[in-house]
Structure 1
Amino acid sequence: MTAEAADSTGFGSPGKGAGLRGTGSKRNRWIATFSTGIVAGLLAGLFGVGGGIIMVPALVYLVGLDQIRAHGTSLAAVTVLAVSSGLSYALAGQIDWHLAVLLASGSVFGAWFGAKLLPSMNPRSAAIAFNVLLVVTALRMLIGGGDSGTHRSLTLWLSVALVVAGALVGLLASLLGVGGGAVLVPLMVVGLGMPTAMAKGTSLAVIVFSSVVGTVGNRRHSNVDVSAAVMVGLSGVVFGFIGGQISLGLSDRVADITFALLLLVVATKMAWDLRRDRAPRDGDLQPG
């Protein structure tokens, strides 16, 4: 795909840059974007993530956005999906609001800083960093570890550590276009001994805050394709809620293994394309 076919003119410009890779069909772009929202919504609800781990590669490889713009667009859609998915957990009382506030207070600063860094980030580096995140998350989920059953009490120092952790998650969210749930859920389950369902619900609550702040910053730098973000977000709203309902009755181990395998498939695809085409190449996928 040429540089012209991958620039940031956005989802709504079929003649230059937004086309579905290999087809250029506007109808296929809409189908791909709608389908991406459905899958991302289900994953957000099932696993307590924002859905960016699916949206970023889908927006790049199916919808045709450049890597940087895909990150910003994904994060915008994550906001909607996190709200709808988190509703299931909130209704079931599976959100630790005290913990969510601590993590979110740090995440908003990290997301703001990440949005400022994103325009200058090397596109190829962004793709590689995202791929590493996928592999690390998949391995962590395969290894498992389960709930410790002992939810740690929040001391002053632990509260400070959580704010710092939230800042790092917000930074990650803004730079990579993900909600940060891939980091938050293992952190709360393994580090704090929180039950998996509550960790997922709390993760989604934090993601709402960090994704909003990151998206505002990304919009200022024109790194969000609004039409694609709206399409993905709205198409996944109902499925995010459904995914949350399914997750509340699903075995943690089965969900973790299934999701880890999915991550490895996506990571393998991205690694293959990076090796085959040396893409996204520096200069090929620079935003507008």
Structure 2
Amino acid sequence: MQNQDASETSVQTSEVDDWANFRDDDILQQQSAIVTEEAGKIPFLGDKEPLTSLAAEYKSGSPILLEKIKLLNEQYAAIRRTRGDGNCFFRSFMFAYLEHILESQDRAEVDRIKTNVEECRKTLLSLGYVEFTFEDFFTLFLEQLESVLSGNEDSISHDELVQRSRDQSISDYVVMFFRFIASGEIKKRSEFYEPFIQGLTNTSVQQFCKSSVEPMGEESDHVHITALSDALGVPIRVVYLDRSHGDKGSSVSVNHHDFTPVACDLTNATSASGSEAVKPFVTLLYRPGHYDILYPK
């Protein structure tokens, strides 16, 4: 068990180092300008757009970025933007996950995640949270989950899901649900997360959750994503748009990382073949400081 923990720590430390490479100053500056200008104008969730709109956004930018967008266009059909208000990761995940359930009607997945949500509720209670501080967020998420299954009295269409995701009273509550989920997971596995949190902020786990996870508007990084993925058992793929050349000499490639829940790792490790990878059905595009939703072809 100690060897496994050491291995996990080594992998996660590498991820921390890799994350720093994506924070290109010029992209951050450009993205910051976009966020400042657009945050108050665009809805929480935009319409689905072809990837050509992304190329148009960077038409005067780095040739490397334009080449990477061309590569993205080979694998992905469209992008859906979210408002750059610090909650973009959670909003992107929220819609991508609910949209997947609506389109797949995967009732087994709904039953599975309901079980995980109940475990998350127990985790928060065991950590000393008072239930009334989070119960409304949990209730609303479960209502949204039920609504995307057909045959229910309150079943909704895809257009209605889009509209609900643009409704602040619904969208913000679901974002807060995810923030509580991530915070509870980080605190539950505090020994695991502590070295990465200290490397990022030089604060304690408790303070990190209080100041950087639970408040609305606080941006997310790999710690938040790992915690949410592990707690809910949902694999997440993050595709990075940056100016790096990759590991293939001078050729341009698009990097991505799959955040695979611990439970999935253990399942794969003990399976007969041991080689089947868990394929994420939530895919997000990361540009420094912002997440949007990507749609594979």
Query: Could you say which TM-score interval applies, normalised by the shorter chain?
Result: under 0.3
Higher relative contact order (CA 8 A, sep 6+): 1
Structure with a larger share of its residues in helix: 1
Which structure's CA Rg is the greater one?
A: 2
Which has more strand, going by share of residues? 2
What TM-score do you get using the length of structure 2 for normalisation? 0.27
